[in-house]
Amino acid sequence: MLSFAWPWVLLLLPLPFLARHYLPEADSLQEAGLRVPGFAHFSMLTGRAATEQMLNWRFWMAAVAWVLLVVAAARPQHIGDELDLPVSGRNLMLAVDLSGSMDQKDFELGSARVDRLTATKAVASDFISRREGDRIGLILFGERAYLQVPLTLDRETVKILLMEAFIGLAGEKTAIGDAITLAVKRVHEQGVEGGDQVLVLLTDGANTAGEIEPLKAAELASQVGMRIYTIGIGAEQLEVASIVGGRRRINPSADLDEATLTQIAELTGGRYFRAKDTAALQDIYRLVDELEPVEEPEAGYRPVRSLYHLPLAGAFTLAALLAAVSLFQNLLARRARRVTKVQAHAG
């Protein structure tokens, strides 16, 4: 549907004709400092001269240019069909561990054995795709915590920047407390007032770096009403080659501090989950979806596309063409006068 944002501007369409009809001729003003804009270059339209003048193509070009200019000023726009958009008001931050231990290849994706971060990217990307209507932010942490993506409705950007993350980007150690504190700070600064505040924190170790203890950070999150869902990632058993020959079983998640992660979740009203393989990690993110459901569509929205640039470009094009023609005619007239003077002088 086409419409005008400012339809009253169309009342200006007859302005040049009214000015030409009611205002005195510019040449008759004795002390005129400013000429009234209009079709002053056109002579009085009477009789046959009037008919010829009305048919003058420059007159019509000027008229069309004026109409296009007024139409552009009225801001034409195309209003699309009504869409239902889910608007939850939830601020959901994802905090992903990039410490060196995330390089442990104890997960399977398809038929290939992959490291923990690769499995996390695959599962978390699918989780992000389902969070329509949520404002999602991304924090990457290791020895330090960094805000990779502020809260946004642009889920594609969050997924792209998550997939570009790599192990060791934020250092080799793990600063869980700093990651929680950064999430609280950014949600408090940027989040929508009254919206739910949720942090999903995934790590495979214990807090070994940072300035703030995880439980202190959790208390701060609880004070501002942020729920934290913690996910401990890593297999419990892994077969590796023995230095004396053969193979032996190890626990690659021996450093995982499940007690602290559980306390963080309990302090904030969230839950702690244990992901020992890719399937368990997928189930955890599905469960988070159930605990923090996406809102149903509740807001009618019609996309609006501005079209003012089209008539504006047409008006400028016609005006430029008229100016070029006038300049060309003036140049020809000057050249003709010079030739006439030369011929008169020679004669």
pLDDT digits (tens, 9 = 90+) for 106-120: 888 888 889 989 999
Instruction: With beta carbons less than 8 A apart as the criterion, state whether 78 and 304 touch.
Output: yes
Alpha helices for 112-257 (secondary structure H): 116-130, 155-163, 176-190, 214-223
Residue 150 sits at the vertex; the CA angle it makes with 166 and 267, to the nearest 5 degrees, is 90
Mean pLDDT for the chain overall: 81
Helix 176-190 × helix 214-223 angle, to 10°: 20
Residues 6+ apart with CB under 8 A from 339: none
Q: What is the rounded CA–CA span in Å between residue 299 and residue 277?
A: 39
Min mean pLDDT across 54-68, 141-155, 165-179, 263-277 is at 54-68
146-174: pLDDT as tens digits: 999 998 889 999 999 999 999 888 888 99
Min mean pLDDT across 77-91, 134-148, 313-327 is at 77-91
What does CATH list as the number for 85-300? Answer: 3.40.50.410
Instruction: With beta carbons less than 8 A apart as the criterion, state whether 137 and 93 touch.
Output: yes
pLDDT the model gives residue 43? 45
pLDDT the model gives residue 308? 86
Alpha helices for 10-169 (secondary structure H): 15-22, 47-54, 57-73, 116-130, 155-163
The Cα-based distances of 293 to 123, 140, 272, 279, 289 in angstroms read 17, 24, 18, 21, 5
Mean pLDDT of 256-273: 93
Residues in the chain: 347
Model-level pTM?
Answer: 0.60
Domain extent listing, the chain: 2-80+304-346, 85-300
